[in-house]
């Protein structure tokens, strides 16, 4: 079927509208996931809870128990779920630094046991956070804009060369540009 949506969010709404259903439960969520996977790839599929929230915002009536069962069933299929809990905090530079260090430790752990799914999940999570921080940088001004832009740059560099990131960050934090913008940042 030829979809008219220009992005993933529009596609999820378009599929829901085509389903023409009174309420949304597990079957409808799974139908939306199938189309999103077909169009954007499996990695682009959102969690059942996110899809449900989007549809609720569009006026869908949700069959909550079905959606929760689907979510719980999926969560039990994800052995790394606990590792990703509270992994990222990009609210300020110190929190972002700690988060990136946790991400690097997790990346090394996944790499050491050849956990390609874990590595893929970590990368997907980092990209989503980078996009979120960039969006935040567009919405704010002044110091908050500079902080968000800096954090987005950190995540970008970590994604490109995680094994070099810590050394790069040490140099960056000592740079005149960084010190003039942010001062001294605690944390080694």
Query: Over its length of 188 residues, how does the chain's per-residue pLDDT go in tens digits?
Result: 689 999 999 999 999 999 999 899 999 999 999 999 999 888 788 889 889 999 999 999 999 999 988 887 876 666 676 677 778 899 999 999 999 999 999 999 999 999 888 899 899 989 999 999 999 999 999 999 999 999 999 999 999 999 999 999 999 999 999 999 998 876 65
How far apart, in whole angstroms, are the C-alpha atoms of residue 46 and residue 128? 11
The domains of the chain are located at 8-76, 81-182
- What is the reported pTM? 0.59
- Are the C-beta atoms of residues 74 and 47 closer than 8 Å to each other? yes
């Amino acid at each position: 079927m030829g979809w008219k949506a220009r992005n993933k969010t529009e596609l999820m709404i378009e599929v829901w509208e085509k389903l023409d259903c009174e309420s949304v439960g597990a079957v409808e969520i799974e139908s939306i996931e199938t189309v999103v996977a077909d169009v954007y790839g499996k990695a682009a599929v959102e969690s059942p809870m996110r899809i449900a929230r989007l549809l609720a915002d569009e006026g869908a009536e949700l069959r909550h128990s079905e959606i929760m069962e689907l979510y719980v069933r999926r969560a039990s299929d994800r052995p790394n779920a606990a590792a990703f809990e509270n992994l990222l905090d990009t609210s300020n530079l110190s929190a972002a630094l700690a988060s990136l260090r946790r991400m690097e430790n997790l990346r090394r752990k996944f790499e050491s046991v050849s956990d390609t799914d874990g590595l893929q999940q970590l990368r997907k999570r980092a990209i989503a956070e980078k996009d979120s921080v960039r969006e935040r940088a567009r919405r704010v001004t002044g110091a908050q804009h500079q902080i968000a832009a800096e954090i987005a740059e950190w995540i970008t560099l970590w994604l490109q060369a995680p094994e070099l990131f810590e050394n790069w960050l040490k140099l960056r934090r000592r740079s005149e540009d960084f010190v003039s913008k942010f001062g001294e940042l605690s944390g080694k």
